[in-house]
Structure formats: C-alpha cells, structure tokens
C-alpha cells in the first residue's frame, strides 16, 4: 500500500492589526494651506473698511489664523466667511470688546482662572480652563446639570448683560491663548468641552426652556459662541444626558450650525466603564475631575459646587469687583503670552504670505519676544482615527435637517 501522507496544517491566518482607540475630532490641526491663504486674502480685502475701525489689530483678532477659523467654520465658502467676519468686526466695536479685552488678554491660565473664579455665576457652573490633553487641545468643563435658571435670573446684584460680558471675555482670552499656542507649535490648537447633564431639572431646579429670561440668555450666548468665536471647538463631549434633553434640543436646533452639530459626541452614562474609557481618550487622568474617577479635585467656577456660605459671599461682593486691566496684574516670570495686552501692543504682522507664495502650508512665526502663558512641550502631529472596538462615541449626523443631530442625541 502507498505510504500514508502526514496531514499538513492549514496556514495560520494573517495577523489582524487592531487600531488603538483614538480621540475623534471634527477639526484639522493643519495650518492654513496655500489655497486657504488665498481665500483669507480675499476676506481681508473685502473687510478692509471694518478692519480700519478697530483700535486693536492684534493677530489673534485680524491675523490669518483667526480668519482661517471663520473660513473653516463656513466650509471654505469665502462669501459666507466674509459676512460672518464683517459682522464680527462690527460687533467688536459696538459691544466694546475691542477695548474690554485688555481686562483678560495677557493673563496666564492660572491668573485667568482667578479672575473667572471671582466673577463666575455659581448657578451656571463653567470652568474655562482645565489644562491641555495629550493632543494639545485646551480643556473646558461645564456642568449643565447644576444650572439653576430661576436663581440665575433672580438672585443677582449685577445685570445678566454683565454675566454675558464675562463669558465673552473668557472666550476672548481663550481665542487669544489658542492663537498663541498655534503659532508656537505650528499647528491649529482647539478646545475640547466636556458637558455634564447629570441632575438637570432635579432638586427643585427648573429646566432652562421653562424660564424665558434664561432661555433668551442662553440663546444670545450660543449665538456669540457660534459666530464671533467660531471654530475654536474640536468637539463637545456630552455625558449623562437625561430624557429632558429632548426638550432642550428642540430649542438648540434653532441656533446651532451644521458645523457645530458635527462636533457633538454623546458619550452616555459616566458611571459606565466603556463611557469612562472613551472620555479618557480626550481627557487624561491627570486632567480628569474626581467626578469621573480622575485626580483633579477643583475646577474653578464649576467644582466643588458652591456652598450656601460661598454663594452668599459671591452675592455680596460680585457687584463691587473693580475693572482690572491685565497689564496691571503682576504675572509670574514668563507668564505673559505673545504680545501681552494686545490692545495696547499689537503683535508683529503675519509672516505666512511668503509660504503661500512658495506653494506651501503657512509657517506662522511668533515674535521673538513671545513667551507662552504656560511652558508646553512640542507635540507630534498625529493623524486622528475613529474610535474602534465597541467604545466609539455616537457622532451626531451632519445632515441637511436643521435638527437631525438633536433627534439622534435625544434618542440616545
């Protein structure tokens, strides 16, 4: 009989490489391309008259990087970006922000938080600076679940307009700060915002949509954030969204743009392990509040929540706070960022046009005297991949329906 053949083992399947989960942003870290610089030139030319009305022509207001944010927020449409930027210039002059920015621009993050701590309303918990994540983006934390609309409107000795102005000044500082970082690190830096809805409408707190004055305040605030301070967010991380979120969405759909909607990530219940794992892709443990199992015990303006005694102290003293100019505040050595108070001393002119003429991406140079508000190590440019392996956040669809993403969020 013929010799029996030994069975041959089947070849092993090729090793499948599984991508590591990564943060999923809706923005590009790339500096303006040559094509974008050409469009920015068109915007600048069309807005020449408005630019001349400014008393502050600092680069974080009129420079290529700031104009690029307007261009990208309008999906590269020069006409729409020009209209938004012209409205922005007009608002700066009429609102007084062109001059008021001297109160905040030039402060270090630590000093800015002290300024905010004294002025933040305890019934609208927001911390506008929680450090930076591993991708270099600035972190904000907001606790919408602790928002008390009725007390926000009624329990005050300063006007609602003063509170709105303080929020706009925080945004003014933020855009100046990330502009400085972007120039220093030669890439676009953004903000990651964590919004916690846990407790919304509980413990006697009403929902914002049932307090007309609060609703109007939030609508005005969102309008300014989406237009005058556009394209500074990399993404919004929504945690602990309640059933009542559906009613809030019915209001938000009238003010959010499709671009903003594409940045929303509904993560879910923060007590779940997979949700926390996903949150950590954006917020490292050393920057994570203890609320989510991290190490940060205090976020000025948000956490720990104010006691009754602290609220009483704020109520008695908020209207007595003086106007302080950033230049008059003693800063730690090296704390003042590029240009100091840019309203008094504009930054050097843009140096990106030569790069555009050469057909390359912009290379933005900060003044030789510039120092970062906080020392930052250069971070590598990493291609952002979608989150995989079952922990992907729900990305809200960017469809043609004005409320499409909101319906998705409400159903989550």
> pLDDT digit string (tens) for 179-233?
999 999 999 999 999 999 999 889 999 988 899 999 999 989 988 888 999 999 9
pLDDT at 12: 52
Neighbours of 382 (CB within 10 A): 12
pLDDT at 10: 54
Task: Give the DSSP H or E segment for 35.
Answer: helix 34-46
**Residue 359 pLDDT greater than 60, yes or no:** no
Whole-Å CA distances, 200 to 11, 16, 108, 146, 305:
57, 44, 33, 6, 14
Q: What is the pLDDT of residues 162-175, one digit of tens each?
A: 999 999 999 999 99
pLDDT at 223: 85
Q: What is the pLDDT of residues 247-265, one digit of tens each?
A: 566 556 566 667 777 788 8
* Cα angle, residue 146 at apex, residues 259 and 410 outer, rounded to 5°: 45
pTM, full prediction: 0.78
Q: How far apart are CA 140 and CA 292, in angstroms?
A: 15
Order of strands, sheet of 138-142, starting from the edge strand that comes earlier in the sequence: 126-127, 138-142, 191-196, 233-239, 264-268, 394-395
Is the separation of the CB atoms in 366 and 65 below 8 Å?
A: no
**Residue 306 pLDDT greater than 50, yes or no:** yes
């Amino acid at each position: 009989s013929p010799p029996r053949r030994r069975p041959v083992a089947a070849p092993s399947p090729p090793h499948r490489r599984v991508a590591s989960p990564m943060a999923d942003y809706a923005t590009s870290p790339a500096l303006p391309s040559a094509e974008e610089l050409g469009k920015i030139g068109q915007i600048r030319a069309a807005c020449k008259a408005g630019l001349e009305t400014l008393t502050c022509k600092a680069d974080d207001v009129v420079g290529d990087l700031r104009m690029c944010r307007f261009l990208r927020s309008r999906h590269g449409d020069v006409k729409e970006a020009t209209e938004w930027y012209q409205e922005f210039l007009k608002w700066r002059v009429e609102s007084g922000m062109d001059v008021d920015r001297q109160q905040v621009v030039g402060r270090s993050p630590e000093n800015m938080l002290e300024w905010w701590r004294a002025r933040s309303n305890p019934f609208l918990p927001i911390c506008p600076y929680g450090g930076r994540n591993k991708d270099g983006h600035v972190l904000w934390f907001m606790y919408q679940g602790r928002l008390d609309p009725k007390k926000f409107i009624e329990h005050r000795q300063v006007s609602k307009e003063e509170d709105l102005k303080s929020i706009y000044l925080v945004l003014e500082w933020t855009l100046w700060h990330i502009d400085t970082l972007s120039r220093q690190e030669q890439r676009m830096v953004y903000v990651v915002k964590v919004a916690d809805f846990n407790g919304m409408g509980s413990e006697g707190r009403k929902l914002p949509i049932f307090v007309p004055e609060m609703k109007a305040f939030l609508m005005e605030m969102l309008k300014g954030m989406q237009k005058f301070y556009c394209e500074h967010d990399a993404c919004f991380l929504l945690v602990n969204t309640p059933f009542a979120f559906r009613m809030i969405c019915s209001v938000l759909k009238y003010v959010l743009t499709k671009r903003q909607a594409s940045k929303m990530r509904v993560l879910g219940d923060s007590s779940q392990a997979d949700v926390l794992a996903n949150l950590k892709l954006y917020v490292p443990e050393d920057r994570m509040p203890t609320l989510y199992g991290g190490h940060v015990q205090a976020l000025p303006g948000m956490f720990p929540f104010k006691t009754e005694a602290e609220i009483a102290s704020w109520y008695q003293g908020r209207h007595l706070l003086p106007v302080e100019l950033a230049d008059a505040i003693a800063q730690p050595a090296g704390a003042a960022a590029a240009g100091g108070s840019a309203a008094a001393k504009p930054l050097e002119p843009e140096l990106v046009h030569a790069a555009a003429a050469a057909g390359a991406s912009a290379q933005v140079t900060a003044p030789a005297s510039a120092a970062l508000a906080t020392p930052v190590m250069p971070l590598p440019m990493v291609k952002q991949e979608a989150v995989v392996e079952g922990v992907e956040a729900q990305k809200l669809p960017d469809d043609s329906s004005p409320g499409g993403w909101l319906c998705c969020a409400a159903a989550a």
